[in-house]
A = this chain, B = another copy of it.
Amino acid sequence: MNLHEYQQLVDSELDRLVPSEHTPPATIHRAMRYSLFAGGKRIRPILCMEAAHAVCGSFCGALPAACSLELVHTYSLIHDDLPALDNDDYRRGKLTNHKVFGEAIAILAGDALLTLAFQVLAQLDIPPGRKARLVAELAGAAGTVGGMIGGQVADLEGTGQPPDARLLETIHHAKTGALLRASLRLGAITAGAADAEYEALSCFGEHIGLAFQIIDDILDVEESSAALGKTSGKDAQQHKITFPAVHGLERSRQMAEAECTHAHLVLESFGEQATGLHQLADLIVHRKS
């Protein structure tokens, strides 16, 4: 399956999971759908499905669990873009949620996407023990201790501080790394992975998570706003701690390549069932937006 086919599959499942634009109160469902279908690359759901594939040779019904990751990712983007946080007017070349629906609805739409993510996991058609593990895993990755919210807060507090390699890695590990690692773990749990498989996929997730963030920082420096679909160079303007700021562009690129190499290595035991994950690792490091 190529990337576009994957994205279509994820989009059609998201369409099934989120109440229609006509379900009352309609405004909130329109707002949720606006950001959910704003052209996201669906990297987290695809990683989740490919992790399941690595374990059992098919997607093993991981599609709805995969979509819960996109729900959480989208909630975090809506809240991050708010005036009180990053105050962004554009995201992926489109007006941000609060610019279209107002701040009140944007806050509630984020809340609703987060809530729906857990509802989706709790209602999966898999053994209940796996459902509870999925919920705990996603909540941990989205939470305050080593999770996404914790990373966001550390980032807010780190803004304007002198560039520091250790702080940088702590922030990114939590802010983007935790949810990317959870993408792999949710796939593994859904597919009933053995402990060793779960650990290997977690390790893969950590390496490509770090590579993903390094490339994100590099793209923010290098690319034009048009290609990124958002305001570029914004990290530097806001004095955020980034990989190029701490290590320089060349060293940052080498670091991303090294993470990618490690990621490939930990997949060895999965053989051909992990072909999709190998391709995704390369894609993440060589992407242009």
Spell out A's residues near B (CB within 8 Å): 19, 23-25, 27-29, 32, 75, 79, 82, 84-85, 102-105, 107-108, 110-112, 114-116, 118-119, 121-123, 127-129, 131-133, 135-136, 138-140, 142-145, 147, 149-150, 152-154, 156-157
User: In the complex, A54→B79 CA distance in Å?
Assistant: 41
Please tell me which one of the listed residues B115, B127, B140 contacts residue A119 in the complex, with CB atoms under 8 A apart: B140
- Residues of chain B within 8 A of A140, CB atoms compared: 119
- Residues of chain B within 8 A of A108, CB atoms compared: 79, 149, 152-153
> Which A-B residue pairs are the 4 nearest by beta carbons?
A119-B139, A84-B103, A122-B135, A122-B136
How far in angstroms is the closest Cβ of chain B from A49? Answer: 21
User: Can you tell how many copies of this chain the complex includes?
Assistant: 2
- Residues of chain B within 8 A of A144, CB atoms compared: 19, 23, 25, 28-29, 32, 112, 115-116
- Smallest CB-CB separation from A145: which chain B residue? B19
Whether B128 contacts A27 by the Cβ 8 Å rule is no
- Residues of chain B within 8 A of A29, CB atoms compared: 144
How far in angstroms is the closest Cβ of chain B from A29? Answer: 7
User: In the complex, A145→B82 CA distance in Å?
Assistant: 24
